[in-house]
Structure 1
Amino acid sequence: MTLKPHVAINVSDLDASVHFYRHLFGEEPAKVRADYAKFDLDEPALNFTLNVGGEVQGGINHLGIQVGSKEEVLASKERLQQAGLATFDEMDTSCCYARQDKIWVTSPDEHRWEVFYVKEDIEQQEKSNCCTSA
């Protein structure tokens, strides 16, 4: 059995969102229609779709992509900045009971994304506002 998570989000501007996610994922969408786009990612395994309309702000705290090294975090940052997207760094931070290097970027519809590398697990949080500073 092959498992691939599926995430579908509502967006207000498909072109702006496709531009953002193209650079966040470093891949072209597999399908684009007038009101829909699909990114069918192998790494990470994810079927991610954009749907025009509906409520764009829901109960999502944030979304993230875990990578294998700090270098991959920095490569993502460079790719996003070259696309004209603003990033926010949080290097050597503690969040979710782990020491991490991460960057944050926000989609056109205010969905907050982190690209992060877990350096080590830790027993205690060092700040109470984990994942809320971006």
Structure 2
Amino acid sequence: MDVCEGFQVKELDKRSSGSAFQLILSPSNAKEAKAKVLLSPERKEISLEEQKKKMAAAEERRKSREFEMLKHFAEVREHEKEVLQKAMEERNTFSKMTQENLAQKMEVYKENRGAQMAALSEKFKARDKKLEEVKKKLSQ
């Protein structure tokens, strides 16, 4: 058993897989530590003025904390308003862009449809003209 400062080391078991030890604290240190813990500092008397000062300081801290909380909540509300405003602006912008794209596509569709109808009409006119020519040749 080895003795070190403040504790003793006792070897319990020694095997190939490892060793087991027991640490024993010296009793003199434990008593001194308990004695120190049991002693509490003496309380000094606080005057009425000191109590009032402490109460005023506590009230000031409470008001300051309340002011900080209100300020924080106002900032949060302002941020929420800004986020909502930005979302509405983006939604409106997207809606306008979509309407413009749709109107442009409809215009292109109308133009293409008109061109197709004109081409079809020309084709039918050419066919009718050829048919009239064939009828004239046959009637002669």
TM class by shorter-chain length? under 0.3
- When normalised by structure 1's length, the TM-score is 0.12
- When normalised by structure 2's length, the TM-score is 0.12
* Structure with larger RCO (C-alpha < 8 A, sep 6+): 1
- Compare CA radii of gyration and give the structure with the larger one: 2
